[in-house]
Amino acid sequence: MAIIKCPECGHQISDKAPVCPSCGVVIAGNVIKCPYCGEVYLKGEVVCPSCHKQSVVSHVEKTNREVVEKPVRTETPNVAPENSDNNTPKNKSNKTTVVISVILAVIVLCAFLYKYNDAKTDKEMEEYEIAMKSDDPMILQTFLDNYKDAPQAHIDSITVHLERINKREQDWNNALMNRSRVAILDYLSEYPNSPHEQEAREKLDSIDWSQCQKDNTPEALQAYLDQHPDGNHYDEAESALKKSKAESVSVDERGMLRSLFRNFFLSINAKDAASLTNTVSEITNFLGKFGATKNDVVTFMNKLYKPDVKNMIWSIDDNYNISKKEIGDEEYEYSVSFVARQRIEKTDNSSVENTYRISAKVGPEGKISDFSMARLTNE
């Protein structure tokens, strides 16, 4: 650090002072000491104000300042003028590139169109197969609407299939409107695998059950059970049949009882003990004797044939009065009453005729378990 005079006002200050406290001029870094005469002056002055010589520092700074301030000349490279001749190698290369690009684009487009058409054909075939397996008219009509350019064979097949389904639906509506058993059966016969098959069978079940209730006979109930083993009213019909059997005597039951008593009296006519005992139970109440056996029945037959009897004919009027009661699970006991006529031909060629009221009971096994008779007339 040195004491210098301010170049501006001459006030003594340090050469490190930022500014002159007297005049305010910048001192630190802004003054030069002349190497020739020792005078201190501002850097902005080109020559020493005392000896008028230029210091080295001032010269260097001036040179640097000129270099900085001198504009830089930018050289523009020479550009060759565009040649209008299109047949240069570069232009030929560009043309080749364009042609190749166009060819590649065409190839890609063709491949895309081929793939698209192939996929469209596959889709049409898939939809065709689905439609041919369907019974839904909407699916078939949708195919015809969406694939108007499909193969003619496919269009024809779908059209025929659709017409067949429409006819089937019309026939089903007609059968429903007809409301008859015959119409439903005809529909099921013509369309055995129709989507309406289950509905048709339920409709038939309903018709048969209504008729069964209207008839209200054991035969009608049994017919319903035979025709509809899985019917909606099977349990109801079975219960009604059981009740009906307990309350009424069927045609078959009447036939069984008529045959039983006919065999009983025919066996007496023929004096056939074996056949006679086959019509009665092991233990029976016979002509008032409780605990009677089959031998007691044979004894009764033998007593009828007295020594003067040559022949005997029993006949039965077809006027059975029959009632029944349930004595077990679907096991019944029958009470039977009827008129029997006896004609006795004697050895002296005379004859006697008697009429009897027969009262008997028949067990579930179909054998006579109780037998009594009362004479009505003696001719």
CB burial of 267-297 (b: ≥16 within 10 Å; e: otherwise) equals bbeeeebeebbebbbeebbbeeeeebbbeeb
Number of domains in the chain: 4
Flag whether 125 is in a domain.
no
300 and 373 assigned to the same domain: yes
Phi, psi angles (nearest 5°) of residue 172: -65, -45
337 and 269 assigned to the same domain: yes
pLDDT for 22: 83
22 and 63 assigned to the same domain: yes
pLDDT for 272: 96
Domain finish residue from 177, 204, 234: 177
Domain finish residue from 122, 148, 177: 177
Flag whether 232 is in a domain.
yes
The answer to whether the beta carbons of residues 254 and 318 sit under 8 Å apart is no
Flag whether 82 is in a domain.
no
205 and 295 assigned to the same domain: no
146 and 228 assigned to the same domain: no
171 and 211 assigned to the same domain: no
Residue pLDDT tens, the chain, 379 long: 677 888 888 878 777 878 888 888 887 888 888 888 888 878 778 788 888 787 655 554 554 554 444 454 545 445 445 544 555 666 667 778 888 888 888 888 877 776 666 666 788 888 999 998 888 888 988 998 998 888 999 999 999 989 988 998 899 999 999 889 999 999 999 998 888 999 999 999 999 999 999 998 888 999 999 999 999 999 999 999 888 877 788 889 999 999 999 999 999 999 999 999 999 997 778 999 998 999 999 999 999 999 999 999 999 988 899 999 888 888 899 999 999 999 999 999 999 999 999 999 999 999 999 999 999 965 4
Domain hosting residue 223, numbered range: 179-247
pLDDT for 69: 47
* Pick from 375, 370, 376: nearest CA to 288: 370
Flag whether 43 is in a domain.
yes
Flag whether 109 is in a domain.
no
9 and 61 assigned to the same domain: yes
Domain finish residue from 13, 47, 69: 69
233 and 298 assigned to the same domain: no
Flag whether 87 is in a domain.
no
pLDDT for 65: 55
Flag whether 118 is in a domain.
no
201 and 211 assigned to the same domain: yes
280 and 366 assigned to the same domain: yes
Amino acid at 270: A
329 and 255 assigned to the same domain: yes
Token readout for 339 is: 């008129």
Flag whether 128 is in a domain.
no
355 and 315 assigned to the same domain: yes
The answer to whether the beta carbons of residues 188 and 214 sit under 8 Å apart is no
Give DSSP secondary structure letters for 240-293.
HHHHHHHHS--HHHHHHHHHHHHHHHHHHHTT-HHHHHTTEEEEEEETTEEEE-
